[in-house]
Chain A
Amino acid sequence: MNQVKQVDHLENLENLLRDGRLARAEEQRKFGSALTDATRSLQQAAVRFEGLARMSGAACEARPALNSEERSRLAAMCNDLRRAGQQIASAARDGSEEHLREVRHLVKDVEATTTRIEDALSSAWQRRADREFSRADALAGLLQKVPETQHLGHQLKAVAQKGLQWKKQFPPDAPGLAEFQSLITRTQALLEELATSGADDDVVDFLQATVEGRARLNDCSQRTRSWLQERGALGLFRVTLG
């Protein structure tokens, strides 16, 4: 009797059981193209799904830029996504070919929703970046002209420029998000440093409004005039009739 052949079926079976190939093969045999299609569409959408994770991180940063309406719309879209995920999971749990064939369509819906979310968040993200780094950038240019704040102006200018670079990168990856948050923090720190040099809020606001072209003569307070004067910077300003 040559019961044990070159192929040891006992060992093979043990392996197939152990690594799940047998179970998969069995499901494959059972659901045929339904599972294949569902799997393929899921695999294709996987990157997008993982993009949602990145969007979640960025969403926190973008959230301040969202208005309530935008938030409500995003919340609805998130709910759609959750429901789609639930349906996909149910299709697998049920082991129903019909439900599996729905997965592909669900995936398309999910992709569309994801795009819409991304667009909304991306917009909010840009707005947040502008808010954090565009004024600082302009202020930095003005500060660079003041000898006493020239250095600070250079620093702020560099941070703001970096921050503005993240404006188009949405969703950022985790390091990007971290850098973005870091740049915000640095900007805030430089501005606080400016404040410690006597440039209180009136000064900063006046300088900021000047950079934005909206400063009015009466916006320049005495304190501001003094701070400019002390730093020989009054001559840098010209009065024009608006």
Chain B
Amino acid sequence: MSLNRFACWKSPDANEILRTEALQGHESIFLAVHTPMQGFEVEKGTRSAWLEHRTERGFLDALNREGLKHVFAVVEGEPGAGKSHLIRWLKIQWQHQQDLVLLIQRAEGSLDGTLRQIRNELAGEFADHFTGLGEVQQSSLEGRAKDFLSKLANRMDRNSYERESELPTHHEFVEDKQFSRLLHHDQVRSHWGAPRRIMGVVSGEGERNSALADFRLQDIAELAALANDISEVGMRPIQLLRALGREAKRFQPLLEEGLTQQQIYAELGDEVRNSRILVEALNARLNSALQGLLGISLQGLKDLFRRVRRTLKQQGRRLVLLLEDITSFQGVDDQLIDVLVEQSETAQAHDICDLISVVGITPDYLNNHLRRLGNIQDRITFHIRLSTDNDGSFQEVSGVRTPEERLRFAATYLRAVRSGVQALEEWHSTDLDAPVPNACDRCPLREQCHHTFGAVELSSPRHGATQAVGLYPFTSEAINRIFLALHDPRADRNLKTPRGVLQQVLAPSLLKPEAVERGVFPPPDLEGAWLPDSDRLLLGRLHSMVQNLGGDEATRERLRRLIAWWGDRSEASTREDVEGHVRFAGVRKQVYETFELPWLGAAEALPPKDPPTLPAQTSRLSESTTTDLVEKTSGPSLDRDSDGGPRAPKTPTKSPPARKSLGRTDQAEFAQRSAELKNWQEMGRLDDGQWWDARAYELVESLPWRRLGISAYLQEKLFTQQTVALSGSGRTDSRHFVIPSESWVRDGLESHIQLRVAGDTVQDAEFHRRRVARFLRRLARLAQSRVAEVVPSGADGGRLWSVPATATQVLLARAWMRGTASPKDSTSRQWRAVVEKEAPAEASAKERVDSWTAIVQKTSGSHATVREALLHWVNLPQATKGPTAQNVTFLDAEEAAPALLRLVQSGRLDAFPPAVPRREQTAILERLADLAKEVQQRLPQVARRERERLLRLCDDINQACRGGSLPDYIGRVVQVLNSVTKVCPSVPPGAVNEWLKVRDGLRESGVLATNDERGQAVKELDDFLADAGDSDIRNLDGAELLAWAQKAPAKELGQLWELTRSIEASLEQIGRYAEELVLSSGTAGAATLTDVQQIGERLMALAQELEEAIR
């Protein structure tokens, strides 16, 4: 007889025993699989001190403590943590026969079903008390959802409340935003899924699993998404929708990253204010709306229980309420809690009986609902926790925290399933004090089975005896590995619970014993939806070995499943273990034989590995190396940290994974990483992408950049830790250097990891080194391609754009235009003007031709950045550490210096790309190309245009001087206009003022000066004007022309031109006036006052003469 195709259990028994719901009629099973609960945490309660032992028995004793008339006990735990199990155990163990013990199970999960349970439990003598307790309408779910939404909308109106004090939170906000209009809108009624979802939850649709019926941020996002279809609701609701839409764009990515609502509120604060308020407002009205649907008044449930308690008081009895899951009451939970905290000792309630209540709640409910209810927490008598906080993610659940606990828990069920329901009922009915039946005790294959698959010693607390329960068809590795791999990709639930062990670890195999009997074990069903694909894959050579195995696909798949879950997916070697068993890929040879799977191991086995010393960041799969608990009695537990306490397994996290650093990895980590790579290749998604990106960056960083022709600048801009990413590792955009999911990448990364693992064989190391070398070669080409994307060809195509050349030429052109360098200067001086911090401009470019000015202005905003980039680009780092690192700078002028000379000679920039792709890290390149375009458009003509401009100015000024010298002209003008304004006071004041301004301008400009330096400057200006007509100037070209233009007194000429224009304007203005005055006087020959005076004087003289003549 052998273990081959031997199933020592029956499917119906497994089906019955592995059920997690409904205690009714299955007390035997319950007791048989019951594992004493202990080690839970005790939170603050009014009588916490009376909980002397943190065991289920200690809890029971505390509840029954003499003199305790009122208990409101809370059992907190994640769904599946065992809350119901503990509460059911309390029901079974409750000793006081007089008490009315009411166990309300969460079996149906619906409020309707829960109320029905109460009704059934209280049937008979309390039946008449149910008058007024409504029933859920029997309409369809959709219909109820719409009714629910209508009631919810009505609850947004102030008119729905009789008293101000009844107004729920945020009533002013929802009234101000006229939110009820939105909820009444047809589009919302038809397409908003939240009401339907919530009604589904409270109706027990699907597997409720303690899910909360409440509104969430996602509902707000869904509502906001309807904005385009909603109209005619008024401005305020539309504005609100728009605001919600904006906020949804902010919080949705965080939701997708797995952040909780509270974490999002904390992170985004007021950025999601409207959404947060709406969630709170909706939830504050949710119960009220649900009660409206149920026809329950606010007082209905309280009155019911008060009537029951009055009756019990009269009978001298207590009421014991054992509620497995408070979420089953959602809709009336607020009232229920009011019931539970109402004490019989108060004067107002002296006619009601004592109440002992134990309520199962989830941490989610505790945080989001119970803590909202003011001082309720202060009235909790006992508060125990079956799970513990785990850094904001799901809590760790007592009973399955350690491998030992998990194995013990699984073995209890394995024992019950093998014994069968019938045997358990017999045991329950006959001798409950006897040990639970254990099929292994009488199994002829026990020794072989336990030797191969392992067993767990279970002790019975009643009689102290122990039983060895075989783990067949599992092993300790299989149970723990499957358990630890459980993962909800949506992070909605914690699967690492006792319920998870039953439903996800044991059930898939135990419900199908025929898989063993038909020789097709492990069956495909083993790998349910909660086991990540990445954990199913075999790694490295192991993968190849299984894939290359002949035979049928089904066998290869069984082999894969066996190695993946029973063994070590990354271990392609044959080794002896510490007990002397030969293992291949971590699975004992006998296991292969039992399941009739081919042995791939070598004839000779390697010696056992030393127990690995783990770094602080213990790998996820560290527990995989645990050996059978029965046999393993000493040595360091890999599942414990340095403090000896339980190490937290990697649980599904709701927050983004923190970047981990890997120093030297271990083989288990390698296996996991290798699996991730394989999954990456097959699924396109790379788990723990940040970690992988860091590894990829390590390799990218090691590339020979100089040899690849990639500057340090580009390396640092394009290939940073933040921008190097593996495809599928996370969201990427154009900023990222994305390494594709191709076999050479996977092979290279896998070998890179493998080479870091100590103890690998020399042959394998060579294999991996070759793969890494190949990877690096292709990576280098990829990097070059990436550079080519960012730094395209020059405009002439072909050659890669020389960024330093363009940067040098742009900066040099700028220096020329600013006058800080001349094309006639020495090369070294011009180079300094390019690379050194800009000196103050020699001359203002504003006085130049537009294109001259434009070159300076267009480059003024970016020249420093371009210079910095140029220096970075041409920098030759001499050392990254040590004394020379900071002090010595060598620049590689290989491209820059010839570019400088070419610009001097040709006056034109080298070819550059017409456009550069927009990228955040290399935005300066795009800017540089734009600058180059601007400079190139202007530079070749700028000197000629400036010459034409200057000569035009000279012509105009010379013309104004009327053939005379500048000082002569100015002198004439000053004399004439001064005289005119003196002789002719009637010259319009405007014209006079204009002239006075001009005269002031002349004084300020110094052109009136004659003797001092300014006079000399005027003379020089006059000389320049005189020379302007020389043909030599007309014949200048290239650098000479630009140098001439630079030296020209452009500013002074401009000022003088402006002055002459003003002078001529004044001359014209005053001259026209004078002419008109003369013409209008019409007395070109008429006498003047002088004439009149002279005539008068003449008359006097004549009179005198005459008088003398006659005297």
Residues of A within 8 A of B (CB): 1, 3-5, 7-10, 12-14, 16-17, 20-31, 35-36, 38-39, 42-43, 46, 49, 52-53, 55-57, 59-60, 62-63, 66, 71, 74-75, 78-82, 84-93, 95, 100, 103, 110, 117, 121
Contacts A1-B1057, A27-B1088, A93-B1093 given; does A78 touch B1103 at CB 8 Å: yes
Complex Cα distance, B1089 from A28, in Å, reads 9
B1077 touches A26 (CB 8 A): yes
Stretch with Cβ within 8 A of A (4 or more), from B498-506, B887-895, B976-984: B976-984
Complex Cα distance, B1111 from A175, in Å, reads 23
Complex Cα distance, B973 from A22, in Å, reads 17
Contacts A71-B1111, A82-B1099, A88-B1092 given; does A17 touch B1086 at CB 8 Å: no
A46 touches B1081 (CB 8 A): no
Complex Cα distance, B950 from A64, in Å, reads 86
B983 touches A56 (CB 8 A): no
A26 contacts which chain B residues (CB < 8 A)? 983-986, 1077
Q: A4-B962, A81-B1100 are in contact. List 18 more A-B contacts (CB 8 A).
A: A1-B1061, A3-B1064, A4-B1064, A17-B976, A17-B983, A25-B1081, A28-B1082, A29-B1077, A49-B1095, A49-B1098, A52-B1099, A52-B1105, A52-B1106, A62-B1110, A71-B1110, A82-B1099, A85-B1103, A92-B1091
B1059-1096 interface code vs A (CB 8 A; 1 in, 0 out): 01100100110111011011011111011111111111
Complex Cα distance, B991 from A13, in Å, reads 15
A89 touches B1093 (CB 8 A): yes
B980 touches A88 (CB 8 A): no
B1096 touches A3 (CB 8 A): no
A117 contacts which chain B residues (CB < 8 A)? 1106
**Smallest Cβ-Cβ distance to A10: which chain B residue:** B1067
B1074 touches A85 (CB 8 A): no
B984 touches A22 (CB 8 A): yes
Q: Which of A4, A49, A71 contacts B959 (CB 8 A)?
A: A4
B874-894 interface code vs A (CB 8 A; 1 in, 0 out): 000000000000000000000
B1078 touches A22 (CB 8 A): yes
A28 contacts which chain B residues (CB < 8 A)? 1081-1083, 1086
B1104 contacts which chain A residues (CB < 8 A)? 78, 82
Contacts A9-B1072, A10-B962, A10-B1071 given; does A16 touch B1089 at CB 8 Å: no
**Smallest Cβ-Cβ distance to A60: which chain B residue:** B1109
B1078 contacts which chain A residues (CB < 8 A)? 16, 21-22, 25
| Tally of chain B residues near chain A (CB < 8 A) | 59
A92 touches B1092 (CB 8 A): yes
A63 touches B1109 (CB 8 A): yes
B1061 contacts which chain A residues (CB < 8 A)? 1, 3
A49 touches B962 (CB 8 A): no
B959 touches A52 (CB 8 A): no
B1070 touches A78 (CB 8 A): no
Interface centre among B1060, B1071, B1095, B1111 (most CB of A within 10 A): B1095
Contacts A21-B1084, A71-B1111 given; does A110 touch B962 at CB 8 Å: no
**Smallest Cβ-Cβ distance to B1104: which chain A residue:** A82
**Smallest Cβ-Cβ distance to A61: which chain B residue:** B1109
**Smallest Cβ-Cβ distance to B973: which chain A residue:** A10
B294 to chain A, nearest CB (A): 94
B387 to chain A, nearest CB (A): 91
A29 touches B1081 (CB 8 A): yes
B1109 contacts which chain A residues (CB < 8 A)? 55-57, 59-60, 63
Interface residues of B in 198-245 (CB under 8 A from A): none
Complex Cα distance, B1099 from A46, in Å, reads 10
Complex Cα distance, B1093 from A87, in Å, reads 9
B1081 touches A24 (CB 8 A): yes
Complex Cα distance, B1099 from A12, in Å, reads 36
Answer whether residue B118 sits at the interface, using C-beta atoms and an 8 A cutoff.
Answer: no
**Smallest Cβ-Cβ distance to A26: which chain B residue:** B984
Answer whether residue B960 sits at the interface, using C-beta atoms and an 8 A cutoff.
Answer: yes
Residues of B within 8 A of A (CB): 952, 956, 959-960, 962, 972-973, 976-977, 979-980, 983-986, 1057, 1060-1061, 1064, 1067-1068, 1070-1072, 1074-1075, 1077-1078, 1080-1084, 1086-1111
B952 contacts which chain A residues (CB < 8 A)? 1
Complex Cα distance, B1067 from A185, in Å, reads 67
A91 touches B1092 (CB 8 A): yes
A39 touches B1106 (CB 8 A): no
**Smallest Cβ-Cβ distance to B1071: which chain A residue:** A9
A24 touches B1083 (CB 8 A): yes
A4 contacts which chain B residues (CB < 8 A)? 959-960, 962, 1064
A53 contacts which chain B residues (CB < 8 A)? 1102, 1105
A87 contacts which chain B residues (CB < 8 A)? 1096
Contacts A17-B976, A17-B980, A82-B1103 given; does A88 touch B1088 at CB 8 Å: no
B1083 touches A36 (CB 8 A): yes
Contacts A14-B976, A49-B1095 given; does A42 touch B1087 at CB 8 Å: yes
A42 touches B1081 (CB 8 A): no
A31 contacts which chain B residues (CB < 8 A)? 1089
CB<8 Å pairs between A and B, sample of 14: A9-B1070, A9-B1072, A22-B983, A31-B1089, A35-B1092, A49-B1095, A52-B1102, A55-B1109, A56-B1102, A56-B1109, A79-B1103, A86-B1096, A88-B1095, A89-B1097
B1106 touches A43 (CB 8 A): no
B960 touches A3 (CB 8 A): yes
Q: Which of A12, A52, A57 contacts B1071 (CB 8 A)?
A: A12
Complex Cα distance, B1058 from A1, in Å, reads 10
B1067 contacts which chain A residues (CB < 8 A)? 9-10, 13
Interface centre among B962, B1081, B1092 (most CB of A within 10 A): B1092
Contacts A1-B1061, A13-B1071, A25-B1078 given; does A90 touch B1110 at CB 8 Å: no
B1099 touches A81 (CB 8 A): yes
Contacts A78-B1110, A110-B1099 given; does A3 touch B1077 at CB 8 Å: no
**Smallest Cβ-Cβ distance to A93: which chain B residue:** B1093
Complex Cα distance, B985 from A38, in Å, reads 22
A89 touches B983 (CB 8 A): no
A35 touches B980 (CB 8 A): no
A142 to chain B, nearest CB (A): 35
Complex Cα distance, B1089 from A86, in Å, reads 14
B1110 touches A59 (CB 8 A): yes
Complex Cα distance, B1092 from A7, in Å, reads 33
Contacts A9-B1072, A12-B1075, A79-B1103 given; does A43 touch B960 at CB 8 Å: no
B1096 touches A92 (CB 8 A): yes
B973 contacts which chain A residues (CB < 8 A)? 10
B1103 touches A42 (CB 8 A): no
Interface centre among A17, A71, A84 (most CB of B within 10 A): A17
B979 touches A8 (CB 8 A): no
The 7 lowest CB-CB distance pairs between A and B, nearest first, are: A9-B1071, A85-B1099, A88-B1096, A89-B1096, A92-B1093, A85-B1100, A81-B1103
A56 contacts which chain B residues (CB < 8 A)? 1102, 1105-1106, 1108-1109
Complex Cα distance, B1086 from A66, in Å, reads 40
A39 touches B1092 (CB 8 A): yes
A66 contacts which chain B residues (CB < 8 A)? 1110
A86 contacts which chain B residues (CB < 8 A)? 1096, 1100
Q: Which of A5, A79, A91 contacts B1068 (CB 8 A)?
A: A5
A16 touches B956 (CB 8 A): no
A57 to chain B, nearest CB (A): 7
**Smallest Cβ-Cβ distance to A100: which chain B residue:** B1092
Q: Which of A5, A42, A89 contacts B1100 (CB 8 A)?
A: A89
A7 contacts which chain B residues (CB < 8 A)? 1071
A53 to chain B, nearest CB (A): 6
Q: Which of A5, A25, A42 contacts B1077 (CB 8 A)?
A: A25
B1111 contacts which chain A residues (CB < 8 A)? 71, 75
A60 contacts which chain B residues (CB < 8 A)? 1109
B983 to chain A, nearest CB (A): 5
B985 contacts which chain A residues (CB < 8 A)? 26
A90 touches B1081 (CB 8 A): no
B976 contacts which chain A residues (CB < 8 A)? 10, 13-14, 17
